[in-house]
Amino acid sequence: MENYTIGNQKFNDLESFGRRCGCPRPSYVKINQIDQKNREFKTKNINFRAIGGAIHIPIRFIHLSDGINGIINTAARQAQMEVLNNAFNPHGIHFSYEETETITHINQEWFQMGHGSAIERKAKTALQANPETTLNFYTSNGGGLLGWATFPWDLEGDPALDGIVVTYTSLPNVGSPPYNQGQTATHEIGHWLGLFHTFQGGCSASGDHVNDTPAHSSPNFGKPDITLPHNACKEGEFAPVENYMNYTDDEWMNNFTNGQVSRMRDMIGTFRPELLNNPLTTPELPATCTQVSRILI
């Protein structure tokens, strides 16, 4: 029987591990509120998506360690940055980091922090950079998950928790296959920029609120044959087994859809407007929306 190691925990198979990601599903009421605010933004800034332009997002790497496990070197960070920019650069979103801003914090309790725990809040409150202008990228033991993230609409109500957390072994070449090529971070940043899982809602009408991601009943794992429909909800469609927001192996993930890209950019404008004021960001907004943060209600 093949064993998989996620963080420092071993699993007999990927299905027994189950959840790659700890992101919660917002309530129906919350989703409606999110959609309404996004519609208001797009109504007031009708040219925002069409004009496009580059969006620059600085990252602060914050590595939690127990003193033995969790130490991440420069080469791993640089490899992770390459993975992220390969995924997002084609869509006008660019990430950078400064080695001098990187934090390695040795604290055995914080290293073991779980999703939604008091320890998570304590660690993040102490170590974060400004969450309005920076992506706080935490690595830890994972708490039994590959990672989790806050959504952009959470920033206003609870900025202390903002950012992503990934198990340190998910960074390129740090851990063991199949989750060691850095795509856990790509997946979690997708959430941080407003994407749901492609399988959200299963075969229900709401789904992931992106029109060009075929609905499918549950996550896909491993390296599914791309010529088969798998668990797609509609006849003639195929589950998006290579999408970054599914649960397949890192080496199998290779795309965001056009709809997902449009949603990420809309969510930045609606809920993370300060990212549009970062140096190197060039959204080239028209005069009616040169300062998006001043327009939003």
The residues that bridge with 64 in the sheet, in sequence order, are: 105
One DSSP character per residue, 61-104 reads EEEEE-SSS----HHHHHHHHHHHHHHHGGGTEEEEE-GGG-EE
Active site residue 188: yes
Catalytic residue among 188, 237, 251, 274: 188
Residues 6+ apart with CB under 8 A from 58: 95, 96, 97, 98, 133, 134, 135, 278
Neighbour-count burial of 242, counting CB atoms closer than 10 A to its CB (0-12 exposed, 13-18 middle, 19+ buried): middle
Give, to the nearest 10 degrees, the angle between helix 28-44 and helix 258-271. Answer: 80
Q: Which amino acid appears at position 173 of this protein?
A: N
The residues annotated with a catalytic role in the active site are 188
